Each structure stands twice: as structure tokens, then as C-alpha cells.
Amino acid sequence: MTDSSRDLAPPPAPHTDLAAPGAPPAPGASGRGVAAAGAIDAMKVYGRGEGQVVALDNVSVTFETSKFTAIMGPSGSGKSTLMHCLAGLDTLTSGAIFIGDTYLAKLNDKELTELRRKSVGFIFQAYNLIPTLTAEENITLPLLLGGESKDPQWFNEVVQTVGLADRLKHRPSELSGGQQQRVAVARALNARPDIVFADEPTGNLDSRSGAEVLEFMRRAVRDYGQTIVMVTHDPGAASYADRVVFLNDGRIVDEMTGPTPEGVLDRLKRLGD
């Protein structure tokens, strides 16, 4: 049974203390907080027969609104697959993904594209900036593509937060790697999405630039209530998050709140034992 054909009403409650849409209690009333997104009994299988690979194995997890969550695990653990499915960039073999009170399997292609444009922000390792556009034009591009104009006050707040006020007229080739990634962060935040997914956002940066980007992301959560889910292999990067979820062999095997680099590294070592 595929993700697109499964009857998801009413869905089973996720194995968590956060609320999921359609599962009591209603969103906004659960013990830890409101679920911005999540997966319920998520399975993702590639190939068949002897070549079959189970990337996600019955994963149920939720991500709290206005929190910064890191997803970690060894290479091949399923962390990037989980994020891609959560963001609607890939589909499940079975199970369910929700963002807010919307199940992705119930959306057609047009509706899914609209949800990603309005509700989801993306920060990629490779920046994905348009080289012929200035920093300001790159930041506002998603809104312009949707026929919307920028909110000048919010735009200025975002730009000040990421420290780009004096670089708005520069093209990507005129910016450092850290500055380019800050443009990517600002682009994600400027549209005011319900949730931002970040895939190894500091993977191409030196330690100083990476720390700056992570601090900006943490400020977005702390000061503006943004929700961020980040995949990373770096214990230092994960320590900026409020919570770390650990995957191994396609399953969630542990989690940590209030992470430190040393604590995260110790958990990762245990996964390798």
C-alpha cells in the first residue's frame, strides 16, 4: 500500500506526547507542546527482493512548534530520507506525514506544491542561490514567485537578524560562504513558513561561519517562534538545538533534550557499538 492510497482518517495516534492532527488531543493541547510536523508509522523501502533497502522502518515522531530539533545518526541511518519525506520532497511506502493539521497524502501535486511554498522553508548545504540575482532578490524570490510582496518591516527584521544589511546588493559570487548561507537562511525565514527544514546547513562552511549560521537559526526560534528541523552529522551543530532525535537502521533509537557536543558525541558512539 502506498502513501498516496492509504485511508488516513482517522489516523492512529503517534507514539509521542505531542498532538497530531486527527489524533486526540487536538493540536495545541498536548503535554510537551503543539506538533508542527510529524510522521506516523512511516515506512520507506527502496528496491525489491535481495536488493531491497528499508530506509525508514515504522518511524513515529513529532516536531514541536517553535523549537529547534536536530536529526542525527550514522551514514545510511535514514535521517535525510526522513527529512525529505517530512518536507514533501519524497513519498512514503506506507504510513503518514503531516505538517500542521494537513496530511500530505491527501494532497494532489498542485496542493502539495502550494503547501511547500506557503508553509515550508528550506535551507540546503549547497545554498541554492540564483547567481544572477542580488542577495535581496534571492531572499524575496519565493514570495515573488507566489505573487506576494514582501513585508518591509519583517524583511528588515530578518536582514538585521542575519547581519546582511550591508550586503543586499551583492550577488552570490561577491559573498563569502557564510554570507551566502545567511542569505539562504533569510530566504527561508522571510516567507514566514510554519516550519523550516535544514539539510546539513553548515556542511560547506568553516567552523566560524557555521557557528554564525547556527546562532542565527537558534535566534529565529528563540526570538521569532520559528520551527526548525535540521539534519546534521556534527555534534557541535546539534548542540544548538533544543532536542536531538537519533536514528539508526531506519528507526528512532534515542533522543536528547538540552544537548551538548560531548553528550551528543557519546550517544553517537553508542549507536556505533
pLDDT digits (tens, 9 = 90+) for 85-128: 999 999 999 999 999 999 999 999 999 998 988 899 998 878 88
Average pLDDT over residues 136-146: 89
Question: Residue 32: is its pLDDT beyond 60?
Answer: no
* Cα–Cα distance for residue pair 36/236, rounded to 1 Å: 25
Q: Are 132 and 141 in contact (CB under 8 A)?
A: no
Centroid of chain to Cα 129 = 18
pLDDT at residue 273, rounded to an integer: 53
Residue 217 vs residues 48, 94, 151, 223: alpha-carbon distances, Å = 40, 32, 20, 10
Cis bond upstream, residue 11 (ω within 30): no
C-alpha cell at 165: 544589511
- Name which residue leads in pLDDT, 259 or 177: 259
3-state secondary structure of 240: coil
Task: Kindly report the pTM of this predicted structure.
Answer: 0.81
3-state secondary structure of 37: strand
64 Ramachandran zone, left/alpha/beta (phi>0; psi -120 to 50) = beta
* Residues 184, 90, 86, 55, Cα dihedral to 10°: -120
Q: Which helix (H) or strand (E) holds 118?
A: helix 109-119
Q: Which of the given ranges, 50-54, 113-117, 129-133, has the highest pLDDT on average?
A: 129-133
Residue 196 vs residues 60, 169, 199, 268: alpha-carbon distances, Å = 19, 25, 10, 24
3-state secondary structure of 66: coil
Determine what percent of the chain is predicted with pLDDT higher than 70: 87
Which residue, chain included where needed, has cell 505538517?
Answer: 99
* Cα–Cα distance for residue pair 129/133, rounded to 1 Å: 8
Smallest Cα–Cα separation from 151: which of 120, 107, 114, 189? 189
Q: Are 91 and 262 in contact (CB under 8 A)?
A: no
Mean pLDDT over each residue of the chain, to the nearest integer: 85
